[in-house]
């Protein structure tokens, strides 16, 4: 991708800057030309002048004038999302209220309340991922409320985030990690949900470039090296199909486009294959110019022509014509066996469908007139409104719930009568039960999926027909929360559990009342808060419940001071590990990295995270945990995106200093041909030639192949990489990969 290169050193003088700003402004007007109505050009000019004046003393981290950022965001809105004049004005003004003296009232006076409202929404969002996590959940809710109110807010925010990602090269390393993680955690899935596939793909690629630079550059290089032979193959593949389409009198475009670096990397990881084994490095796209009434028919005709020429894989047919995705995506995808025994993905869609795939929500509005079907986005927004209404205000799980419920791919399942329900991927029979009705969910004891009896936690697949079995004796249990992914099911189960908790808590309330009567003090709010704070609980309900289930025995009440009607808790000073760690870090850190295994490593205690088992040489960051001090994680750790996105303020820049005295346990998985003496060769190489200690070795042979798991002690990543390349060089070895030991 042309805009994924690092930012060059900034060298413009004032005169050149003025010319550059003007050039970008004129380019924006040219892009807007088809949408300009009388008077709107002047409004855009006024917005540009206000923004230019407001930001005139500000510069970006790269050194360039700040105004170039709003101009770039406005250009993305127009060219890549397909938004119009009002959105352009909002994009130009999106940072003014937060960063300059401009107020919302001034914007409202100049451009009207609608634009002021969108700018207000954008201002709220800009703080969304900077605060602590519970506040972040609150802010994210504000975004979603604004989004369901006016979706342009989120579209402009996505443009803003995309430009920040494109210019991330001038940021400090920890900032790059934080922004890239947030992007991959929240913004890329949101772009996908809004139907903006190109933006989603570019965001993921750029995030990977900063979070996993080695893998990113490896794949980019491989793609560049194989470009010529790929182009030749695509041309050979397309030729016969092109002839058939011309003979069939279709008005069409056909071309091959490479898959994104991020999606290729995901395939390699998921399937455990090398770059050369990823078969769909590109997709062939056929775009038809068909009238609305003939769209489906034409797509299926083209499918028939393609599969006449090449054999299709039946399980790889994706029909999003009959059932478009909830983000509006419509297309027909098939995977066929092309020349030289290679599988090739073919995507068939019309020009209208292609517009919606590239411009998402904005294109939806363009084609919305005259359609009887309720817009899928409208349904989605309504679901979000319902979720926000039902959600606990302080839920830290909110973001995670939102991702699982609203940013995941969806599946389609059927009721016994054939009614269709759309659920997020990963939904269980219990999710379906709650989707039908809360009362059915609460009484659910099992389900029949495709007429077979299954437990309530059974994961559903697209096309399943589900019948729920209920019992009047059943009631929700806390373990149900682990079985569901939809927000509706989660919040209803929590409500029900809370109701039961209240009943149990009544007993605890009576016990506390008797204890306080014994001390001669009333059970008022002030006294309750004193006790709640002492036991580090969140509410009086938690306190009463913990007393009822004997988690708290109130023995400590005798240490409380009684002053008239009030009680006062004894002061117990327990400094929190993480607070201490953060303070020490702030003192030590200034702008330097925290060095692990170096001279300063004794200043703070840390441990290596079990989820990713880092070893020296890995790209890592430090994370201050609650109660356990500092943990070191790899930047490509499965939990990294969540930690960096949700708790950026706890991240510490970290680097290794080599220390040959300490060894680290790590694992490698070896797959190869089950040949006589192969185990001997492997152990000789590891222990004999490379002098590396083996901790454990398991080998399993099956149908001519063997899979070996070896745990070894290495000093650093270089030693591990050396071991992997030496093992790969042995005859009969198919693949060697690192895995995280238990």
- What confidence tens digit (pLDDT) does each residue in 426-437 have? 899 999 999 899
pLDDT, mean of residues 179-193:
82
Of 459, 484, 509, which residue is a domain's last?
484
In this structure, is residue 217 part of a structural domain?
no
Mode of pairing for the β-strands spanning 705-714 and 664-673: antiparallel
Q: What is the DSSP secondary structure assignment for residue 556, as one 8-state letter?
A: G
Query: Do 333 and 443 lie in a common domain?
Result: no
Most confidently modeled range among 65-69, 168-172, 408-412: 65-69
In this structure, is residue 628 part of a structural domain?
yes
With contact defined as beta carbons under 8 Å apart, do 283 and 336 qualify?
no
Query: Do 601 and 716 lie in a common domain?
Result: no
Q: Among residues 331, 337, 284, 341, which one has the least CA distance to residue 307?
A: 337
Print the domain residue range for 439.
Answer: 378-484
382/133: higher pLDDT: 382
In this structure, is residue 489 part of a structural domain?
no
What are the catalytic residues? 98-99
- Rounded CA-CA distance 351/698 in Å is 55
Query: Do 399 and 471 lie in a common domain?
Result: yes
High-pLDDT (> 70) share of the chain, %: 82
pLDDT, mean of residues 700-708:
84
In this structure, is residue 564 part of a structural domain?
no
What's the gap between Cα 537 and its chain centre? 31
Other Cβ atoms closer than 10 A to 221: 11
727/376: higher pLDDT: 727
DSSP per position, 468-495: EEE-TT----GGGGGT--SHHHHHHHHH
Q: Look up the CATH number of the domain holding residue 682.
A: 3.30.70.260
The pair phi, psi for residue 285, each rounded to 5°, is -115, 130
For residue 280, give both structure tokens. 């769909």
Query: Do 647 and 684 lie in a common domain?
Result: no
With contact defined as beta carbons under 8 Å apart, do 633 and 643 qualify?
yes
pLDDT, mean of residues 516-523:
84
Q: What total number of domains does the chain contain? A: 6
In this structure, is residue 659 part of a structural domain?
no
Query: Do 131 and 201 lie in a common domain?
Result: yes
In this prediction, residue 363 carries a pLDDT of 66
Other Cβ atoms closer than 10 A to 333: 16
* Whether pLDDT at 376 is above 70: no
Of 484, 517, 536, which residue is a domain's last?
484
Query: Do 603 and 532 lie in a common domain?
Result: no
Helix axes 68-75, 85-93, angle to 10 degrees: 150
Q: How confident is the model at residue 5 (pLDDT cuts 50, 70, 90)?
A: very low
In this structure, is residue 570 part of a structural domain?
no
Query: Do 468 and 399 lie in a common domain?
Result: yes
For residue 301, give both structure tokens. 């005709």
Where are the strands (E) in 361-429, listed by range? 410-414, 420-424
Q: Is the dihedral of CA 393, 395, 400, 404 positive or negative?
A: negative
In this structure, is residue 372 part of a structural domain?
no
Q: How confident is the model at residue 162 (pLDDT cuts 50, 70, 90)?
A: very high
Q: Look up the CATH number of the domain holding residue 299.
A: 3.30.460.10
Query: Do 423 and 499 lie in a common domain?
Result: no
Query: Do 524 and 633 lie in a common domain?
Result: no
* Whether pLDDT at 86 is above 70: yes
* Whether pLDDT at 391 is above 60: no
In this prediction, residue 593 carries a pLDDT of 55
In this structure, is residue 373 part of a structural domain?
no
Query: Do 49 and 159 lie in a common domain?
Result: yes
Q: Look up the CATH number of the domain holding residue 461.
A: 3.10.20.30
* Whether pLDDT at 591 is above 90: no
Q: What share of the chain is helix, strand, coil (3-state, %, to 5)?
A: 55, 20, 30
Query: Do 102 and 25 lie in a common domain?
Result: yes
Q: Among residues 63, 57, 58, 71, which one has the least CA distance to residue 12?
A: 63
Q: Among residues 102, 140, 135, 105, which one has the least CA distance to residue 121?
A: 140
Residues 6+ apart with CB under 8 A from 2: none
User: Helical H runs in 130-226?
Assistant: 133-149, 152-166, 173-182, 188-193, 197-211, 213-225
- Rounded CA-CA distance 124/70 in Å is 17
Of 331, 365, 399, which residue is a domain's last?
365
Query: Do 66 and 186 lie in a common domain?
Result: yes
């Amino acid at each position: 991708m042309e805009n994924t290169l690092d930012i060059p050193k900034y060298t413009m003088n004032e005169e050149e800057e003025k010319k550059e700003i003007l050039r970008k402004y004129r380019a924006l007007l040219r892009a807007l030309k088809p949408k300009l109505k009388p008077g709107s050009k002047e409004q855009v000019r006024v917005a540009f002048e206000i923004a230019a004046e407001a930001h005139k003393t500000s510069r970006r981290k790269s050194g360039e004038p700040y105004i170039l950022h709003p101009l770039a965001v406005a250009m993305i809105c127009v060219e890549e999302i397909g938004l119009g004049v009002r959105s352009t004005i909002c994009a130009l003004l999106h940072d003014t209220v937060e960063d300059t003296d401009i107020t919302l009232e001034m914007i409202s006076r100049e451009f009207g309340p609608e634009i002021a409202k969108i700018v207000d929404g954008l201002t709220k969002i800009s703080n969304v991922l900077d605060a602590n996590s519970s506040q972040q959940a609150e802010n994210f809710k504000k975004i979603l409320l604004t989004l369901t109110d006016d979706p342009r807010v989120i579209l402009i925010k996505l443009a803003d985030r995309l430009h920040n990602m494109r210019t991330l090269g001038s940021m400090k390393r920890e900032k790059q990690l934080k922004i890239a993680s947030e992007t991959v955690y929240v913004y890329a899935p949101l772009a996908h949900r809004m139907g903006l596939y190109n933006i989603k793909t570019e965001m993921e690629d750029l995030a990977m470039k900063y979070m996993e630079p080695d893998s990113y550059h490896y794949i980019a290089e491989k793609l560049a090296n194989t470009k010529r032979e790929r182009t030749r193959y695509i041309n050979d593949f397309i030729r016969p199909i092109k002839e058939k389409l011309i003979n069939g009198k279709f008005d069409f475009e056909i071309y091959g486009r490479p898959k994104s670096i991020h999606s290729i990397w995901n395939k390699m990881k998921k399937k455990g294959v090398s770059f050369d084994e990823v078969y769909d490095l590109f997709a062939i796209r056929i775009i038809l110019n068909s009238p609305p009434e003939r769209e489906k028919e034409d797509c299926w005709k083209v499918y028939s022509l393609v599969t006449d020429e090449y054999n299709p894989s039946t399980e790889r047919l994706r029909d999003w014509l009959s059932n478009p995705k909830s983000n509006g995506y419509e297309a027909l995808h098939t995977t066929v066996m092309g020349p030289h025994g290679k599988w090739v993905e073919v995507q068939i869609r019309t020009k209208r469908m292609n517009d919606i795939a590239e411009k998402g929500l904005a294109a939806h509005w363009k084609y919305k007139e005259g359609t009887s079907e309720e817009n899928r986005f409208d349904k989605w927004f309504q679901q979000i409104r319902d979720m926000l209404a039902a959600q606990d205000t302080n839920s830290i799980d909110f973001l995670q719930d939102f991702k699982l419920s609203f940013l995941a791919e969806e599946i389609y399942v059927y009721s016994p009568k054939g009614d269709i329900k759309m659920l997020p991927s990963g939904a269980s029979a219990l999710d379906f039960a709650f989707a039908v009705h809360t009362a059915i969910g609460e009484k659910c004891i099992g389900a029949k999926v495709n007429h077979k009896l299954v437990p309530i936690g059974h994961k559903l697949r697209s096309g399943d027909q589900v019948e729920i079995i209920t019992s009047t004796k059943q009631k929700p249990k806390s373990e149900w929360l682990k079985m569901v992914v939809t927000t509706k099911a989660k919040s209803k189960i929590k409500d029900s559990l809370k109701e039961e908790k209240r009943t149990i808590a009544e007993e605890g309330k009576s016990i506390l009342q008797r204890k306080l009567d014994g001390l001669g003090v009333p059970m008022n709010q002030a006294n309750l808060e004193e006790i709640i704070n002492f036991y580090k609980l969140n509410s009086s309900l938690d306190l009463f419940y913990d007393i009822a289930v004997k988690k708290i025995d109130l023995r400590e009440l005798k240490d409380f001071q009684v002053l008239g009607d009030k009680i006062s808790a004894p002061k117990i000073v327990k400094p929190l590990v993480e607070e201490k760690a953060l303070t020490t870090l702030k003192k030590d850190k200034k702008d330097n990295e925290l060095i692990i295994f170096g001279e300063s490593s004794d200043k703070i205690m840390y441990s290596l995270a079990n989820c990713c088992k880092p070893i020296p040489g890995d790209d890592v960051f430090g994370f201050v945990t609650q109660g356990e001090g500092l943990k070191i994680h790899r930047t490509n750790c499965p939990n990294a995106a969540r930690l960096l996105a949700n708790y950026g303020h706890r991240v510490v820049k970290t680097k290794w200093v080599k220390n040959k005295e300490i060894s680290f346990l790590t694992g490698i998985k070896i797959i190869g041909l089950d040949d006589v003496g192969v185990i001997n060769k492997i152990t000789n190489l590891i222990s004999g030639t490379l002098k590396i200690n083996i901790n454990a070795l398991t080998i399993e042979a099956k149908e001519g192949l063997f899979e070996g798991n070896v745990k070894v002690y290495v000093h650093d990543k270089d030693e591990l990489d050396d071991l992997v390349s030496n093992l790969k060089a042995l005859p009969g070895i198919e693949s060697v990969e690192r895995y995280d030991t238990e």
